[in-house]
Amino acid sequence: MKSQVLVLGAGFGGMELSTLLSEALGEKADVTLIDKGDAFVFGFSKLDVMFGRTKPEAIRVPYRHFVKPGVRFLHETIKAIDPAARRVVTDAGTYEGDFLVVALGADFDLAATPGLAEGGNEFYSVAGATRLREVLPAFSRGHAIVGVAAAPFKCPPAPSECALLLDDYLTTRGVRGACEITLVLPLSSPVPASAEMSRALVAEFAEKGITLRIGRAVKALEPGRKTAVLDDGTELPYDLYLGVPKHRVPQPVVDAGLSDDGWIPINPRTLETRFPGVYAIGDGAATGTPKSGSFAESAARAVCASIIARQQGSEERHLYAATGSCYVELGGGRLGRMDLDFYSGPKLKSVYYEPSAAWREDKQKFGASRRARWFGL
Ligand X SMILES: Cc1cc2nc3c(=O)[nH]c(=O)nc-3n(C[C@H](O)[C@H](O)[C@H](O)COP(=O)(O)OP(=O)(O)OC[C@H]3O[C@@H](n4cnc5c(N)ncnc54)[C@H](O)[C@@H]3O)c2cc1C
Beta carbon nearer to ligand X, 205 or 263: 263
Question: Rule CB under 6 A: is residue 105 a binding residue for ligand X?
Answer: yes
Binding map of ligand X across residues 234-253, x = CB under 6 A, - = no contact: ----------------x-x-
Cβ–Cβ < 8 Å for 238, 227: yes
Question: Rule CB under 6 A: is residue 12 a binding residue for ligand X?
Answer: yes
Residues 284-313 interacting with ligand X (rule: CB under 6 A)? 291-294, 296
Q: What count of other Cβ atoms lies within 10 Å of the Cβ of residue 91? A: 9
| Of the residues 103, 145, 187, 307, which one makes contact with ligand X according to CB under 6 A | 103
Q: What count of other Cβ atoms lies within 10 Å of the Cβ of residue 52? A: 12
| Of the residues 51, 124, 263, 275, which one makes contact with ligand X according to CB under 6 A | 124
Alpha-helix residue ranges (DSSP H) falling in the chain: 12-25, 45-50, 116-119, 126-135, 158-172, 195-208, 251-255, 293-311, 358-375
CA distance 126 to 251: 20
Q: How far is CA 358 from CA 52, 94, 199, 338, 361, in A?
A: 22, 48, 20, 14, 6
Task: Give the residue nearest to ligand X (CB).
Answer: 11
| Of the residues 5, 25, 47, 230, which one makes contact with ligand X according to CB under 6 A | 47
Question: Rule CB under 6 A: is residue 14 a binding residue for ligand X?
Answer: yes
Question: Rule CB under 6 A: is residue 367 a binding residue for ligand X?
Answer: no
Cβ–Cβ < 8 Å for 8, 14: yes
* Phi, psi (deg, nearest 5) at residue 223: -60, -35
Question: Rule CB under 6 A: is residue 35 a binding residue for ligand X?
Answer: yes
Beta carbon nearer to ligand X, 252 or 336: 252
Beta carbon nearer to ligand X, 154 or 216: 154
Question: Rule CB under 6 A: is residue 154 a binding residue for ligand X?
Answer: yes
Q: What count of other Cβ atoms lies within 10 Å of the Cβ of residue 286? A: 17
Question: Rule CB under 6 A: is residue 216 a binding residue for ligand X?
Answer: no
The string over 191-224, giving b where at least 16 C-beta atoms fall within 10 Å of a residue's C-beta and e elsewhere, is: bebbeebbebbbebbeebebebbeebbbbbbebe
| Of the residues 5, 6, 7, 9, which one makes contact with ligand X according to CB under 6 A | 9
Question: Rule CB under 6 A: is residue 70 a binding residue for ligand X?
Answer: no
CA distance 148 to 159: 8
Give the binding-site size for ligand X (rule: CB under 6 A). Answer: 34
Sign of the CA dihedral running 47, 52, 54, 60: positive
Q: Which stretch binds ligand X (CB under 6 A): 142-150, 153-161, 200-208, 305-313?
A: 153-161
Beta carbon nearer to ligand X, 36 or 274: 36
Beta carbon nearer to ligand X, 16 or 229: 16
Q: How far is the CB of 346 from ligand X (least distance, A)?
A: 25
Beta carbon nearer to ligand X, 229 or 241: 241
CA distance 244 to 148: 5
CA distance 22 to 177: 54
Beta carbon nearer to ligand X, 46 or 176: 46
Beta carbon nearer to ligand X, 189 or 292: 292
Q: How many helices (H) and strands (E) does the chain have?
A: 9, 23
Q: Which stretch binds ligand X (CB under 6 A): 23-31, 40-48, 132-140, 232-240?
A: 40-48
Q: Which residues pair with 80 in a beta bridge?
A: 89
Binding site for ligand X (CB under 6 A): 9-14, 34-37, 43-44, 46-47, 77-78, 103-105, 124, 154-155, 158, 250, 252, 282-283, 291-294, 296, 326-327
